[in-house]
Structure formats: C-alpha cells, structure tokens
Amino acid sequence: MIGRLNHVAIAVPDLEAASEQYRTALGASVGAPQDEPDHGVTVVFIELPNTKIELLYPLGEESPIQGFLDKNPSGGIHHVCYEVEDILAARDHLVQSGARVLGTGEPKTGAHGKPVLFLHPKDFNGCLVELEQV
Amino acid sequence: MIGRLNHVAIAVPDLEAASEQYRTALGASVGAPQDEPDHGVTVVFIELPNTKIELLYPLGEESPIQGFLDKNPSGGIHHVCYEVEDILAARDHLVQSGARVLGTGEPKTGAHGKPVLFLHPKDFNGCLVELEQV
C-alpha cells in the first residue's frame, strides 16, 4: 500500500541556521522558506536525489510544532510521510487494522496541495506517520 | 555533499509486531530480521520504492538502542542516514564547520558493510545523522 517516502520532517529551533547548515556544512540543495498558515508552520524543503527533508518551524500562535519544540528545544525528527495512491482506501484499511487517525479522520490539504492524513504515533512505534495521496 | 537518503531508522519495542504492521497494515515489503552483533542491534529493512526504513531492536547487553527505548518506551524515529561519496572528506568538512563526530571519529563498518559515521544530534537540530559511504 505505502509507496515512496515523500519526506522526513525535522522540527528546528532556528530555521535560518538549519537551512544554512544543510546548505554549507552538508552541501545540500535547500529551498526558500514557505509559510503554511493553514498548518501553523514555515517549511524549508531540502531536495535530495531520492526524497526530501522538510525543515519545520512554528508559524502563528497555535502552531502544532511549538509543543514539540518546547519538549525538544534542540529540535528533532518530527514525522515521516509515505505516499499512497488512494488516501481514503488507505485510511479505511488502517482503521480496520486498529490504527487511529488524528483529527477528524478526514484528509486535509497538505503543504504540497495534496490530501494528507496523520496517524497516531502510539500506534506506529512512537513515529508520527503522515500519508499523502499522490 | 550529501546524496541520497539511504534510510530512516525507527527503534521499536517489539520487532515482530512492528514488522507485521508494516507488512499488513501499511502493505510494505518487509525483510527478515538480521542480527548485527557489532552494532548491538537486530534490524529489519523495509524496502520502499525510493529508500528504506530500518527497524531497530536491541541485541545484547550493551545495545545503543536500549537507552533510547528506556526513554521512549513506544519507540521512535532514531536517526536518518545520508549517503556520501567520500566519508573522510565529508567528516573533515563537517568537523571544520563545527560539527562533532561521535565515538573515535573514525568510520566503522555499518549494517550494509560500508563505512559509516554518526554526527552529534545536538549539532543537527536534535537529529542523529548517520553518514554512509557508498
């Protein structure tokens, strides 16, 4: 069912410093910051040859990233995103297998303009899993 | 400098249950467990179309994964592994940029039989980074 790893998201306490580090110390191709007000984050995408790293920084008062950074002030790996062909079929299959979908259970539009869902990290070895329909 | 994302490693409290979940609930291609006594882990590789997920479970008395699972009993994302062409050149460049290499600073042979190094997570936004020479 799951396809490609679309991205790994890393929450960072300083988006400019993290971008600069990936650009110069790690020598990667780093994009410009993009505000995603619907998701309460500013994101920077790092293009690797086979997938992306998504740097996440809080945007606005109710950012879902702020609590994570409060607990992990240095930052940390926040989630992985797997691609699926049919997000509703994937959701229904996962719910039948006992997994919990976060929020209303209905897909939202993600940072790439595609439908996304998040699965409960407690059901996936402490790993927050995003599914994105491609 | 960094190339492909070689894998994302997830530490899990129950390797069999996690393997079965990736196989049936997430419908992925899941390999057989491999003991890596030199690294104190048993690993299961999940092959995605563009990269791999590495499930990690402690092996032996001094597994480096045990402390992580003690702190995160449900498991969690443990590290990301980026490929590099020349691991010594990459290390020297990173050390010059102020990053710390874990252990002796010399590459070890990793789970794929290739030279690997780990970088200090505090220097990389709380994210443990493995470099693997390919």
The CATH number linked to B106 is: 3.10.180.10
Question: Which SS3 state, helix, strand or coil, does residue B35 take?
Answer: strand
Structure letter (DSSP) for residue B104: T
Q: Is B94 on the interface with A (CB under 8 A)?
A: yes
Task: Note the pLDDT tens digit of each residue in A14-38.
Answer: 999 999 999 999 999 999 999 999 8
Residue B17: helix, strand or coil by DSSP? helix
A29, A72, A77, A80: best to mutate for the B interface, most B CBs within 10 A: A77
Instruction: List the structure tokens of A129.
Output: 């899993």
In this prediction, residue A129 carries a pLDDT of 98
Strands A52-58 and A76-84: unpaired
Identify the residue whose tokens are 């079965």.
B20
Rounded (5°) CA angle A16-A31-B94: 60
The answer to whether B27 contacts A127, with C-beta atoms less than 8 Å apart, is: no
**Shortest distance, CA A36 to any CA of chain B (angstroms):** 21
Q: Does B13 touch chain A (CB under 8 A)?
A: yes
Query: What residue type is B74 in one-letter code?
Result: S
Min distance B93 CA to chain A CA atoms (Å): 7
One pLDDT digit (tens) per residue for chain B, 134 residues: 999 999 999 999 999 999 999 999 999 999 999 999 988 999 999 999 999 999 999 999 899 999 999 999 999 999 999 999 999 999 999 999 999 999 999 999 887 789 999 999 999 999 999 999 99
Determine whether A130 is an active site residue: yes
pLDDT, position B38: 86
Q: How many CB atoms lie within 10 A of CB A113?
A: 7
Query: Any idea what DSSP says for residue A70?
Result: H
User: Given a cut of 80, is residue A111 above it in pLDDT?
Assistant: no
- B27–A82 CB contact, under 8 Å: no
Question: How far, in Å, CA of A7 to CA of A111, rounded?
Answer: 11
Domain count, chain A: 1
Q: Which domain holds residue B98?
A: 5-133
Q: Which residue has the tokens 């995603």?
A: A36
Q: Coil, strand, or helix at residue B67?
A: helix
Q: Could you report the per-residue pLDDT of A51-108, keeping only the tens digit for each?
A: 999 999 999 989 999 999 999 999 999 999 999 999 999 999 999 999 999 999 999 9
